[in-house]
Structure 1
Amino acid sequence: MAQRPVILTGFHFTKTALAALSEGYEIAGHMDRPDPALVPVAAQPHVQALVTTGSVGASDALMAAMPRLSLICCYGTGYERMDLAAARKRNIMVTHGADANAPDVAEMAVGILLASTRRIVRADKMIRRGDWTKRIPNRFGPIAGLSGGKVGILGLGAIGMEFVKRIKGFDVEIGYCNRSKRSDVDFAYFPNVMALATWCDYLIVALRSDASNRHIINAEVLKALGPRGHVLNISRGWAVDEAALADALRHNVIEGAALDVFDEEPYEGQELLGLDNLVMTPHFGGGTEHAQRRMTSLVRRNLDAHFAGKPVISPVPELRDMAAIPDGRLR
């Protein structure tokens, strides 16, 4: 019987996901963080694939620690901390979750947008404190509500389009900013994030995070959004300058915000924790059972294709031109 390909995990996957991987592959170990020193010594000469997430990432040094590595599978859409130049240099294919969790992340986006704009979390805490009669401190006047508002989507990709399906029922105007104007929608198009933020009331960050858009939501964009504005991020944490966001929330530059993702995860900072006009969730927009099954299936299909010498199913866009490695199993 042929020896099964050897994989290493770089993220704490569920038992169900690990069982699906174990059906066809030998799991040689796990790293708690992407440190070359944490690759099990006995596994270093044998690991052929790394299964991790884009927010964890993989450096050139980490890849070098596994000389037979030929594939990195990112569980989920993002791959912002992957050194793609190093991967190309080493002929290592990188895949990602593509659109597997888009409906679930879009659902989460609607939820935290409502939580922020309708002050749901603050209201819940108010009741638990016994302050029903005091109501929520009303620094900004009556709660506006979504109806009749302007929703700006930064990044009208798969998640953005799924979000549109769900938000249309709230009777809002929709605008978007993309790398290029889409021909299949008739929403207002804005050529840059400043123009979008100036126009909209609610700014939804749903773009692919890479080096070109790190901290694209900065102090200037937040000022343009204005004192009744809300921003929410369900893409990748580093798209938002968290220090600028904290300052804007603290000084009422914007009314509220919601984050499901953070620049460093898990979030261990302090500056965001005391803000009552910020809703935070621990990066589980794609954490539904349905999304987990789809993402696990896609990782498995990418592994199977690669080690059968076939093109992978969902390569990251920057590496689509790389041919499949014919003898990935033997590398």
Structure 2
Amino acid sequence: MYVTITSQRMSDTYSNSVSDFVDYLEKENEDKAPQAKEHFFNQEHDKVHRKEVIKDIDSNTAKLRKTEPRFYSITINPSKRELQHLQKGTMSLKEYTREVMKSYAQSFHRDREITVNDLKYYAKIEHHRSYKGFDLEIRENAPYSRKIARLNNNIRKVERGELKGNIRDMKTRIKQLTEAAPHKIDGKLIAQGMPKPGLQTHIHLIVSRKDDTNTYSLSPGGKYKASQVELNGKTVKRGFDRDHFFSSTEKTFDRMTGYRRNFAEHYQARKLMVNDPKKYFELLLKAPKKERKKALSILRESGIGIPKLAIPTTKTQLALKTIKALRKAINVTKDAEHGY
């Protein structure tokens, strides 16, 4: 389960309104029959019109400065394994989302208990994704794509008489480069904007910065998990515990579906992998052999480019090459987020 929390983009090139983001989330409904469309929903309603979403979020901004985000975007991305498991069960993603938002509310540190009823949010389920520039396939295809683009450009110049060259040889070279590229779908080079194959279902949420009464600020963007601060002579609690929220999304899924989570799929393990890869593999060594093998398979499937080395069996075989490659892959991808 991969979860991101992103604040509203604030700049001269982006509208203060949530309307652009709502329109982006409506893209999958284009050309679909009414009964096939996915609707916005919240804690109480299954079908909410886009106009109501825009009106509710845009009007819930009392006392916010122009530089402060009006809303936050949360994306919940089940893995392929989780989606495959979900297909066998009866739990709906709407039901799951509503439980997740209860944990989101509980992750705030405030002077009073925050519940899901304090939140103003709208969610949307999507079933498709397209490749973006930070994806492993795009990055590894990039050297081939650049050469192919240059050759295609030269072919057009030759056809216009601006350049001398053999078009047949250029087309042969393009074919060779395409065959040599590491990532293809149906013989075509994977490129930005191309739809991703397989199960891609995920959930987008728009959460207002202010509570449902437009009175209190509920920002998950602070760097504090739980702290107290003096404000106008009063001690005020603040903070949002992201670790609690991210871990709870997994626990909720497992509880509701009976999913058996592998070591590599736990949020705390992934966090350790980023901060201390050596310690990560030391803990992985303590897992049963079958679990270790599955964990490395999951890492490769997730797009982290670790080499296919033998699973280390002792601490002296901690595979320094694997750790270095893992750290390099993480540094490239850890800041990439699903956005619009």
- If asked which structure has higher relative contact order (CA below 8 Å, sep 6+), I would say 2
TM-score, structure 1 normalization: 0.29
TM-score, structure 2 normalization: 0.29
The structure with the largest alpha-carbon Rg is 2
Higher helix share: 2
